[in-house]
Amino acid sequence: MKNIFGQIKVLLIVGSVAPFIAMAQGTDTLHFQQLEEVIITATRNERTMGSLPMPVTLVQTPMIKTMGSVRLNDVLTEQTGLVVVPQINGQGNGIQIQGLNPDYTLILVDGEPIIGRYTGTLELSRLTVGNIKQVEIVKGPSSSLYGSEALAGVINIITEKPSTNTAKFSMRYGTNNTLDLNTTGGFVGSKWNVSVFANRYSTDGYDLSPQNYGKTVSPFLNYTLGSRVEYKLNNQTILSIGGRYFGENQDYSFDVNNKGNSIRTYGAGKITDWNLNTMLSHRISNRFKLTGRFYVTNYETDSYFKLERNDSLTKQDNYRQWFKRFELVGDYQFAPNHITTFGTGLIDESVVTNRYFGLTERTLQTKYLFIQHEWNPISPLIVIGGIRYDNNSKFGDQFSPKLSVQYEVSSKLVFKSSFGVGFKTPDFRQLYYNFYNAAGGGYNLWGSEIANERISEFQKLGLIQSYSVDLSTIGTLEPERSLSINIGAKAKLSSFLSWDVNLFRNNIDNLIDYLPIALTTSRETIYSFRNIKKVFTQGIETDLGCRLGSNFSVSIGYQLLFAKDQAVVDKVDRGDEYWRDPITLQTQRLKSNEYFGLYNRSRHTGNFKVFYKNAKSGWEGSVRVIYRGKFGVGDVQGNIQGEIIPASDQNDNLILDEYDNFVPGYALVNLSLAKSIQSLRLQIGVDNLLDYTNPIFIPNLPGRLIYGSVSFSLFEKSKNQ
């Protein structure tokens, strides 16, 4: 079967990958074939980069190796328009796409979702890139294919599939006693192939505030194990079974500094995460293929904190989540220029945690149908339209359409645009959270599903003093919905210069936020969640790629971003927003151009990269500069080694304006150099060469990291050729 979309010439390649690939093509044709730019995430079918009308970034393994990356956050942080942001308590790494929070990006491994968004964010460093083929990033909503969470974008990690018998080993050792051990094996028979994979990652962590007891990031150790077996039952049918396990242990020790008291605390945390993925694919005819998949995954964490002085427990947390999905997907080719993809599925999710009300298991079921049609009416025009219907046991019906169009003006210029609706159903936390903060003012935060029940309990006990909202408005949350537009172009400016630009706008009119609902008789506020916020993000992302000779490539990437709360914009425009000078305590009216926007968003981010690769001599190297402009931090104050993270707002209006205290912008300089001698590869590198750190606001950024790595293939024998 010939794929019409594959015939369209790969005109230009998105982003940073572009020059690299072009270079590989120039020096080594075989190399280029292995690096064929096929993306599965954007349409659920294998499509070439050039045939996709939506913004897509592709990062392939040779690039990842040259960068010396070992975890997913290392890879994503260097891509234009992707910002790796610290999360709750400033710890951890989440991904921000088009200015939207990490909660709104779906993360998949081989098309199956990774769960364990304990605080809403998926921790990117949980995912090793030791066994992958490529990372595909589709920006803008993809709910038309993937449903909930695919609102800002989808990141799909495609693991390596063996084509020959191989066994590869690699070891990387660096600063902070960080050791990454990786082994992959591939065994290929005439009817079957097997891949196995193991990774061990350990580190002593690091300490950015040596004056404080404990470490900024405590030592941890994790293992990732994976395997997949694929068996060809006959020429039409393939059965595949795969599994993955991840386990991590971390020990903590820190001081809580409160009002002059240093309260020495220790604890430990444990994460386990596994999944099993069974797939049966059958080709009914040349035109019709059906694939059935069953996926089950489990994520668990347990942690505790104790006081050192008397071993009394100060905090204990556990969280267990299950996700099961059955899916049937078909694609039918009516004509070479008409392809329809359709699917249906069932999802069953559940969570048990001490953080939710009652130790009962909370569940959600989703049934869904989707259909997508790819049409190529005349050769320069590609139209892809799709819609998905989701029926959720709690939230009812959702329809998510998307339309994308690409027009190739000439071989040097292509226009792209896509319009779509994205959605995210409220997470379990927003539904069942039952949190009481005894310290300080004391307050309760209740999920929307339990708020009414708890309110009536409190009322019976005579604990409610007054209500802040009409109670009938509490207890029903709706899925958050976005309306998004992406319009872009790709231009080949000359034989060695390519330019890529995309303009985006995302509107969310019913963002979930918490608000005070009642006051208790002991003057404690009760909060719950509601769809109350209206936000938008808009901006431009652009990449300029340049090939210098046959071995060098240079690229510049930049994103301009405006992410704002519509209610604040309106209030500032009306002249109803003020700020108080923190020194003079004088209050002044805030002007329209002085409102900066949402927290944790940088207006300017960018990168500058130079890659060198000489296939003949085996040398390769890179210089990458990653810039993140100034940003503000919100009112989620956490502790870093017992120090509070102060909010950016210092002028009493609780919004981020030009007079607030921003986290300054910074640039990271990363270098790498590698030499391949047949099957042996040696690499040295430095990340964060200038040793930039910001212990309070960017604790997830370690200082300078120097590393060396060795990798080799034990045997590599082609069987299939």
Partner 1 sequence: MKCVLSIVCLFYFSMFISCSKSDPAPTPVTAIRFSNLPADPATSFDPNTGAPTGFTNKFTFFSFATGAVVDSPSGTNWDLAFRATTILVNGGTSGAGKGAAQILTGIFDDVANAPTDGYKQDNDAGGLSPAAAPNTNLAIPTGSGNAWYVATGGGPSSPSVITATAGKVIVLKTADGKYAKMEILSYYKDAPAPVNPLRDIARYYTFQYVYQPDGSTRLK
662 lies in the binding site for partner 1 (CB under 8 A): no
Closest contact distance (angstroms) between CB of 88 and partner 1 is 9
- Rounded distance, CA 332 to CA 290, Å? 9
Neighbours of 551 (CB within 10 A): 18
713 lies in the binding site for partner 1 (CB under 8 A): no
| Of residues 46 and 308, the one with the C-beta less far from partner 1 | 308
DSSP 8-state secondary structure symbol assigned to residue 50: G
Please name the residues in contact with 10: beta carbons below 8 A apart, sequence gap of 6 or more. 37, 48, 49, 50
635 lies in the binding site for partner 1 (CB under 8 A): yes
Measured between its terminal Cα atoms, the distance across the chain in Å is 20
636 lies in the binding site for partner 1 (CB under 8 A): yes
| Of residues 358 and 516, the one with the C-beta less far from partner 1 | 516
The number of helix segments (H) and strand segments (E) in the chain equals 9, 40
Closest contact distance (angstroms) between CB of 453 and partner 1 is 23
Closest contact distance (angstroms) between CB of 471 and partner 1 is 16
30: part of which helix (H) or strand (E)?
helix 29-34
Closest contact distance (angstroms) between CB of 524 and partner 1 is 10
Q: Are strands 443-446 and 525-548 parallel, antiparallel or unpaired?
A: parallel
452 lies in the binding site for partner 1 (CB under 8 A): no
Measured CA angle at 495 (ends 494, 499), to 5 deg: 50
E strands within 521-576? 525-548, 552-565
Residue 306 pairs with which residues in a beta bridge? 266, 313
* Amino acid, single-letter form, for residue 92: G
Closest contact distance (angstroms) between CB of 629 and partner 1 is 21
Q: Give the range of 95-103, 165-173, 417-425, 431-439 binding partner 1 by CB under 8 A.
A: 431-439
| Of residues 278 and 694, the one with the C-beta less far from partner 1 | 694
* Residue 412 φ/ψ, nearest 5 degrees: -105, -10
- Rounded distance, CA 40 to CA 246, Å? 25
- Rounded distance, CA 526 to CA 680, Å? 61
| Of residues 494 and 521, the one with the C-beta less far from partner 1 | 521
2 lies in the binding site for partner 1 (CB under 8 A): no
Site size with partner 1, rule: CB under 8 A: 54
How many residues in the chain? 721
Local structure of 64: helix, strand or coil: helix
State the number of CA atoms in the 13 A half-sphere of 690 facing the CB: 12
- For residues 543 and 13, is the Cβ–Cβ distance under 8 A? no
- Rounded distance, CA 503 to CA 507, Å? 14
| Of residues 396 and 582, the one with the C-beta less far from partner 1 | 582
- Rounded distance, CA 74 to CA 705, Å? 12
- Rounded distance, CA 703 to CA 693, Å? 6
Closest contact distance (angstroms) between CB of 464 and partner 1 is 10
Binding mask 387-426 for partner 1 (x = CB under 8 A): ----------------------------------------
| Of residues 267 and 488, the one with the C-beta less far from partner 1 | 267
By CB under 8 A, name the one of 437, 456, 473, 494 that touches partner 1: 437
- Rounded distance, CA 243 to CA 295, Å? 10
256 lies in the binding site for partner 1 (CB under 8 A): yes
| Of residues 312 and 472, the one with the C-beta less far from partner 1 | 312
465 lies in the binding site for partner 1 (CB under 8 A): yes
CA distances from 75 to 61, 197, 203, 710 (A): 10, 20, 19, 19
- Rounded distance, CA 336 to CA 287, Å? 10
260 lies in the binding site for partner 1 (CB under 8 A): yes
257 lies in the binding site for partner 1 (CB under 8 A): yes
Closest contact distance (angstroms) between CB of 308 and partner 1 is 11
By CB under 8 A, name the one of 237, 258, 459, 473 that touches partner 1: 258
Closest contact distance (angstroms) between CB of 437 and partner 1 is 5
Closest contact distance (angstroms) between CB of 429 and partner 1 is 14
Closest contact distance (angstroms) between CB of 213 and partner 1 is 15
- For residues 17 and 63, is the Cβ–Cβ distance under 8 A? yes
538 lies in the binding site for partner 1 (CB under 8 A): no
577 lies in the binding site for partner 1 (CB under 8 A): yes
- For residues 472 and 500, is the Cβ–Cβ distance under 8 A? no
Q: Are strands 105-109 and 112-113 parallel, antiparallel or unpaired?
A: antiparallel
Binding mask 578-607 for partner 1 (x = CB under 8 A): xxx-xx-x-xxx------------------
Q: Give the range of 210-218, 597-605, 609-617, 653-661 binding partner 1 by CB under 8 A.
A: 653-661
Per CB under 8 A, contacts with partner 1 among 278-337 are 307, 309, 312, 314-315
639 lies in the binding site for partner 1 (CB under 8 A): yes
Neighbours of 243 (CB within 10 A): 16
- Rounded distance, CA 615 to CA 550, Å? 10
Binding mask 176-215 for partner 1 (x = CB under 8 A): ----------------------------------------
- For residues 81 and 602, is the Cβ–Cβ distance under 8 A? no
Q: Give the range of 18-26, 209-217, 435-443, 449-457 binding partner 1 by CB under 8 A.
A: 435-443
Closest contact distance (angstroms) between CB of 301 and partner 1 is 16
By CB under 8 A, name the one of 409, 654, 690, 710 that touches partner 1: 654
4: part of which helix (H) or strand (E)?
helix 4-7
Please name the residues in contact with 549: beta carbons below 8 A apart, sequence gap of 6 or more. none
| Of residues 224 and 653, the one with the C-beta less far from partner 1 | 653
374: left (phi over 0), alpha (psi -120 to 50) or beta: beta
Closest contact distance (angstroms) between CB of 317 and partner 1 is 10
Radius of gyration of the chain (CA): 26
Q: Give the range of 250-258, 371-379, 453-461, 620-628 binding partner 1 by CB under 8 A.
A: 250-258
441 lies in the binding site for partner 1 (CB under 8 A): yes
| Of residues 318 and 639, the one with the C-beta less far from partner 1 | 639
Binding mask 507-526 for partner 1 (x = CB under 8 A): ---------x--x-xxx-x-
Q: Give the range of 185-193, 402-410, 594-602, 649-657 binding partner 1 by CB under 8 A.
A: 649-657
| Residue 37: closest CA among 54, 64, 12, 1 | 12
By CB under 8 A, name the one of 330, 401, 618, 638 that touches partner 1: 638
440 lies in the binding site for partner 1 (CB under 8 A): yes
164 lies in the binding site for partner 1 (CB under 8 A): no
CA distances from 433 to 92, 260, 393 (A): 21, 32, 19
Binding site for partner 1 (CB under 8 A): 256-261, 263, 307, 309, 312, 314-315, 437-441, 443, 465-466, 468, 516, 519, 521-523, 525, 576-580, 582-583, 585, 587-589, 635-639, 644, 646-654, 661
